[in-house]
């Protein structure tokens, strides 16, 4: 039974199905050519029956190909792929058996045609490595029937001259299997690397988005601001600075000061003026603008304005921290911030001698809602689920959106396994409560939760995450809408 539970497995199946379309066309051409050559020797009824069964099988597999390629990349698509793969495996088995049965024509055909059929079977065996090799069940369903049928025929009608052919067929099957094992590992690694790169690209896009938002806020603030790197190279000047002195991006910060300042800093004029019980500090210096004309800039600072500017900067820093560390949709910690917070929680747990329990949560049918009602509805569901998760555990516990429809909760200081299970069941209940969308539409989602505990199940935060993630996928694979604790048997 082939299981399809995630995007990597779904992509592997669909890619293999695409390759088999070409294989079907090639095999149909070979079928027509073989039938034309066998026509003069094989009894008409036998040949037509053999040919007709082949054509029906290929048409059925072609029809199944169209169904596979129309399936959506979501949970509904995963279950549909599993269902149709049963029929496709049966089609491969029958096709292989029919090609193997061509050996029954040996009593009617010349020796050169007999060897040609052997070569066709060997060619199909090696061709299966490239076309359906990534799915080992499909590979065996195709290569075994025809080769076993050929071996059975040779043993039944054994002649000493057949020994070489028997050894050659056995060696071909074993060698093809060996190549396939290597190919499967390589292909699976390639697909996983592709998905990892896509995840990294999404993370880079999010970081770039946060950076642009931060620079946008700097541009909109009413005071001059400059962003530099660690070597004091100017990375960005805001609109206020650019209006005053031009764009100095890329220059050294101290070179910038020397270029705009006509007089040394110690000649600055400092005055204090008191008016209406407000103290103003006036700082002045002469600068040279873009038109090469000298002008004096005065900065009036009273206590309230200084406080205001500090408050603006503090709020700006808080806003940037919020954008850098929190998911903009759910307002939960994002993945990078969560892993940093989790690492600190490990140190705290070691120092204060308490346990941690991590709940790795994946929504079961979220992609179906996204595909059926649209991404806006999906965003609404994620926001509501995030709010429910916040309210379902204590404030000290860590809550984060890990990726897509995956969430993570870290329980601090919960020593009792029964208590952890009770909290996890409560999380399942609040997630499964109906959610109202626009147009009076109500939807429901469930979740699969994998649980791992520190220090019982892992000694590092990365290891704990992996154990909880693995356990969650086991729940998703076997039952869904359930919880499970990590057990060392799973390792």
DSSP per position, 335-400: HHHHHHHHHHHHHHHHHHT--EEEEEEEESSHHHHHHHH-HHHHHHHHHHHHHHHHHHS-TTSEEE
What's the CA gap between 94 and 141, in Å, rounded?
9
Pairing of strands 447-454, 482-485: parallel
Q: Could you count the other beta carbons within 10 Å of the beta carbon of residue 301?
A: 13
Instruction: Identify the CA nearest to 122 among candidates 168, 57, 89.
Output: 168
Residue 86 confidence (pLDDT) above 80: yes
| Statement: residue 455 has pLDDT above 60 | yes
Predicted confidence (pLDDT) at residue 278 exceeds the cutoff of 70: no
List pLDDT tens digits, range 345-354. 999 998 888 9
Cα gap 219→316, rounded to integer Å:
12
Residue 405 DSSP label: T
pLDDT per position as a tens digit, 23-32: 889 989 999 9
How far, in Å, CA of 400 to CA of 103, rounded? 63
| pLDDT level of residue 266 (50, 70, 90 thresholds) | very low
- The predicted pLDDT at position 218 comes to 64
Asked if pLDDT for residue 406 goes beyond 90, the answer is yes
Q: How many helices (H) and strands (E) does the chain have?
A: 14, 12
- Rounded to an integer, what distance in angstroms lies between the CA atom of residue 471 and that of residue 483? 9
> Tokens representing 287?
């600068």
Give the start-to-end residue ranges of the domains of the chain.
7-198, 227-320, 335-485
* Residue 214: predicted pLDDT: 63
Query: How many Å apart are CA 140 and CA 148, to the nearest integer?
Result: 11
Q: Does residue 267 carry a pLDDT above 90? A: no
State yes or no: pLDDT of 378 exceeds 70.
yes
CATH of domain 335-485: 3.30.70.270
What does the pLDDT read at residue 190? 66
- pLDDT at site 428: 93
In three-state secondary structure terms, 133 is coil
Task: Give 344 or 239, the one with higher predicted confidence.
Answer: 344
Neighbouring C-beta atoms of residue 232, cutoff 10 Å? 13
Residue 269 has pLDDT above 50, yes or no: no
Between residues 145 and 283, the one the model is more confident about: 145
What pLDDT, in 10s, does the model give residues 90-122? 988 999 999 999 988 988 989 888 888 888 888
Record the pTM.
0.42
| Residue 88 scores a pLDDT above 50 | yes
**pLDDT score, position 271:** 39
pLDDT mean over 271-286: 39
- 405 as an active site residue: the answer is yes
Per-residue pLDDT, averaged over 209-223, amounts to: 66
Reply yes or no on whether the pLDDT at 484 is more than 90: yes
Backbone phi and psi for residue 93, each to the nearest 5 degrees, phi listed first = -60, -45
> Which candidate in 327, 362, 397, 405 is catalytic?
405
Both tokens of residue 413?
Answer: 């200081």
Q: Taking 60 as the threshold, does the pLDDT of residue 285 lie above it?
A: no
Cβ(142)–Cβ(96) below 8 Å: yes
Higher pLDDT, 417 or 129: 417
CB burial of residue 115 (10 Å; 0-12, 13-18, 19+): exposed
pLDDT above 60 for 282: no
pLDDT band at 245 (very low <50, low <70, confident <90, very high): low
- When the pLDDT of each residue in the chain is averaged and rounded to a whole number, the result is 78
**75-101 and 366-373 are packed helices; what angle lies between their axes, rounded to 10 degrees?**
100
* pLDDT of residue 387 exceeding 90: yes
| Pairing mode of beta strands 406-412, 398-403 | antiparallel
Q: pLDDT for 294-341, tens place per residue?
A: 433 333 334 445 545 556 556 666 666 667 788 888 889 998 889 889
Query: How many percent of the chain have pLDDT more than 70?
Result: 74
């Amino acid at each position: 039974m082939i299981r399809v539970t995630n995007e990597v497995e779904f992509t592997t199946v669909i890619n293999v199905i695409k390759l088999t379309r070409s294989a079907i066309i090639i095999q149909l051409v070979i079928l027509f050519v073989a039938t034309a050559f066998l026509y003069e020797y094989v009894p008409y009824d036998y040949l037509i029956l053999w040919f007709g069964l082949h054509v029906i099988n290929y048409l059925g597999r072609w029809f199944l190909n169209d169904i596979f390629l129309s399936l959506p990349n979501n949970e509904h698509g995963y279950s549909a792929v599993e269902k149709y793969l049963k029929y496709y495996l049966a089609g491969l088995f029958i096709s292989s058996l029919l090609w193997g049965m061509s050996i029954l024509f040996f009593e009617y055909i010349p020796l050169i045609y007999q060897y040609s059929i052997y070569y066709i079977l060997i060619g199909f065996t090696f061709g299966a490595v490239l076309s359906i090799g990534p799915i080992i069940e499909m590979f065996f369903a195709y290569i075994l029937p025809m080769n076993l049928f050929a071996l059975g025929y040779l043993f039944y009608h054994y002649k000493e001259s057949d020994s070489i052919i028997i050894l050659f067929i056995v060696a071909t099957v074993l060698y093809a299997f060996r190549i396939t094992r290597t190919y499967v590992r390589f292909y699976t690694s390639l697909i996983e690397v592709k998905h990892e790169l896509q995840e990294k690209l999404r993370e880079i896009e999010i970081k770039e988005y946060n950076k642009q938002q931060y620079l946008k806020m700097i541009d909109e603030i009413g005071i001059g601001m400059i962003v530099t790197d660690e070597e004091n190279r100017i990375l960005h000047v805001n609109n206020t600075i650019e209006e005053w002195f031009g764009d100095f991006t890329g220059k050294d910060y101290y070179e910038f000061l020397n270029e705009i300042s006509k007089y040394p800093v110690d000649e600055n004029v400092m005055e204090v003026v008191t008016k209406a019980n407000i103290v103003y500090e006036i700082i002045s210096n002469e600068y040279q603008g873009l038109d090469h004309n000298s002008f004096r800039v005065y900065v009036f600072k009273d206590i309230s304005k200084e406080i205001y500017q500090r408050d603006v900067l503090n709020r700006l820093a808080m806003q940037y921290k919020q954008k850098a560390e929190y998911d903009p949709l759910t307002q939960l910690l994002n993945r990078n911030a969560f892993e940093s917070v989790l690492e600190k929680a490990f140190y705290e747990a070691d120092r204060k001698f308490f346990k941690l329990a991590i709940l790795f949560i994946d929504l079961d049918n979220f992609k179906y809602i996204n595909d059926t009602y649209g991404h806006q509805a999906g965003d609404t569901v994620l926001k509501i689920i995030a709010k429910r998760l916040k309210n379902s555990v204590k404030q000290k516990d860590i809550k984060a959106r890990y990726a897509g429809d995956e969430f993570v909760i870290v329980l601090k200081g919960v020593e009792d396994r029964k208590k952890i299970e009770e909290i996890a069941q409560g999380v399942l209940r609040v997630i499964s409560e109906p959610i109202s969308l626009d147009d009076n539409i109500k939807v429901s989602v469930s979740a699969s939760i994998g649980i791992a505990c520190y220090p019982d199940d892992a000694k590092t935060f990365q290891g704990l995450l992996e154990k909880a993630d693995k356990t969650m996928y086991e729940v998703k694979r076997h039952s869904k809408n359930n919880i499970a604790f990590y057990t060392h048997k799973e390792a």
